[in-house]
Amino acid sequence: MKRLTIVVFVLLLTLSLHANINVQMKGQNKQLSIAETTINGIRYVETDDFAGVFKSISRQDRTDNRLYLHVYDEQFIFLINSPYYTFKNETFSMHYPLVRKGAKLFLPSFFVSDQLLLHFPASVTVKGKLLTVDVPRDNRVMRIVLDPGHGGKDPGAVGRKNHGQEKEINLGVALKLKKLLEQELGITVLLTRSDDRFVSLQDRTKYANDQRADLFVSLHTNSSKDPKARGLETYYLSTAQSSDARAVEALENGVVELFEGGTAAKSKYDDLNFILSDLSQTEHLESSNNLANSIQQNIVAGTQSYDRGVKQANFYVLRGAFMPAILVEMGFISNGDEEYMLLNGEYQERMARTIFEGIKRFKYRYDRIRNT
């Protein structure tokens, strides 16, 4: 009897230390749970855990101590260290304040167990510690396909001075960029190739479509007959362009004739992809333009390289992508100085970091627009 009491006591203690709010998505079998912790005697959940379950976009404004949280496409504005928040222009109280502990923010459990029901009576029902909720829509950019240009039998452009190969630089930066995106933004990053192999242009885009990627980022280095040509440029799709852009387009599309079966293969791209691109990339041109601008600004600022601007060209590899898609020319391998830098691991790291910053800034803006 005594032993049973102890067992029950230990069990209760464990339960109270590791309490959860359980969430059942309507029409789905598995239950999710949000772990609770006690702060100043009050039950709290970590804001990030809550946001993960409800696919919420959360943004902290450090200057005025606010937390913005989107749930079911509606915005909550919380004041950090205050029990008050606004929702649809009305002020509500959670009785207990939203608190910050270190870098983390904590929401009173009361908000999850009681207030959510009040705001979303059609989507949320509560029974004790179990919430049954509508499946939230996830509009965040969470999946990116990185495309290191060329590979295998196709070396891409080759440097004049050190005979550096474009395919190696592209892959080097892609692998570094993948790490940053995964570690710092928690994004799933997929590569069209992760080693030295040949992948056709069509298969690269198809892969991004099949994987339902939110963004497609193709990485290249530039080349010119003029050994002095230098700098950075970022492209998105268009069928009309300047003669400069046309030269780069010919360079990158040349893969098809050289390595994918000559002119026959080229006309296949022209016929097939043109119809496809009409339906796909057009819808994303504005987003592609924004992504290109965000990346271009960041790579120029971060590397101090010459700014050749954001341009449009008809790249086969961007056509047919059902998502915002851009192509970065990270410098001229035909320019001895730039080739030397591009082959350097530290410079590649910096390049990856600046492209990362560009994607991050774009993502923050895009996530918010798509969720309001």
Using CB under 5 A as the criterion, which residues of the chain lie in contact with Zn ion when the complex forms? 149, 156, 220, 252
Query: Which C-beta is closer to Zn ion: that of 156 or that of 358?
Result: 156
Q: Please report, as a single letter, which amino acid is at residue 117.
A: L
Indicate the residue whose CB is closest to Zn ion. 220
* Residue 154: CB minimum distance to Zn ion, A: 9
Report the alpha-carbon distance of residue 208 to residue 191 in Å, rounded.
9
Nearer to Zn ion, 107 or 341 (CB): 341
For Zn ion, give the closer residue by CB, 168 or 357.
168
Q: Does residue 230 contact residue 331 with C-beta atoms inside 8 Å? A: yes
Tell the residue number behind the tokens 């772990």, with chain if given.
35
**Distance of closest approach, residue 302 Cβ to Zn ion, in angstroms:** 21
Judged by beta carbon, residue 36 or residue 249, the one nearer Zn ion is 249
Q: In terms of CB distance, is 70 or 167 closer to Zn ion?
A: 167
Asked if residue 131 lies in contact with residue 153, where contact means CB atoms within 8 angstroms, the answer is no
What's the min distance (Å) between Cβ of 345 and Zn ion? Answer: 20
Provide the minimum distance between the beta carbon of 252 and Zn ion in the complex, in angstroms, as a whole number: 5
Q: Least distance to Zn ion from the beta carbon of 354, Å? A: 19
Rounded CA-CA distance 331/301 in Å is: 14
Say which amino acid occupies 240: A
Nearest-angstrom CA–CA distance, 316 and 268? 11
Task: Please state the closest distance from residue 237 (CB atom) to Zn ion, in A.
Answer: 16
Q: How far is the CB of 338 from Zn ion (least distance, A)?
A: 14
For residue 6, what are the contacts with CB-CB under 8 A and spacing of at least 6? Answer: none
- What is the closest distance, in whole angstroms, from the C-beta atom of residue 219 to Zn ion in the complex? 8
| Residue 43: other Cβ atoms inside 10 A | 18
Of 146, 150, 257, 131, the C-alpha closest to 196 is: 150
Side-by-side strand order, sheet with 130-133: 99-101, 104-108, 42-46, 31-39, 20-25, 130-133, 124-127
Output 71 or 333, the one with its CB closest to Zn ion: 333
Write the DSSP symbol of residue 114. I
At closest approach, how far in Å is the CB of 85 from Zn ion?
A: 50
CA–centroid distance for 331 within its chain: 23
Listed residue (331, 371, 341, 67) closest to 224, CA to CA: 331
Query: Considering only CA atoms, which of 99, 330, 158, 341 is closest in space to residue 235?
Result: 330
Nearer to Zn ion, 149 or 358 (CB): 149
Nearer to Zn ion among residue 221 and residue 298 (C-beta):
221
Neighbours of 35 (CB within 10 A): 12
Question: Helices marked H in 61-165 — which ranges?
Answer: 109-110, 116-119
Between 97 and 156, whose beta carbon lies closer to Zn ion?
156
